[in-house]
Amino acid sequence: MDFSGFNAAEQTQMTRIIEKKQMQDFMRMYSNLVERCFTSCCNDFTSKALSTKEEQCMMNCADKFLKHSERVGARFAEQNAEIMNNQQK
């Protein structure tokens, strides 16, 4: 976003709003990751510790979730760049 038309106080305010939104998005993604992987992988509650199978499942689940999120973010950035490029023409 271009904040060049804003004064310093407005730029600072907008930066804070964006940072807060980014933190909320990160926390939402983290919560979704924990819930999805826990629900999928943890099913033996006879011990405090994860079994080897559960631990491996959690690692695979988290890895897939993060790779998926990274890929979606990359595609979003590509599309956004294309839209911005087309607007400049």
Task: Specify the DSSP class assigned to residue 50.
Answer: P
CATH classification number, 8-88, choose in 1.10.287.810, 3.30.365.10, 3.30.70.2660, 1.10.150.240 = 1.10.287.810
Report pLDDT digits (tens) over 2-53: 677 888 888 889 999 999 999 999 999 899 999 999 999 999 999 999 999 9
Q: In the chain, what are the domain boundaries?
A: 8-88
pLDDT at 4: 74
pLDDT at 1: 60
Look at the pTM and tell me if it is higher than 0.85: no
Cβ neighbourhood burial of 17 (10 Å; 0-12, 13-18, 19+)? exposed
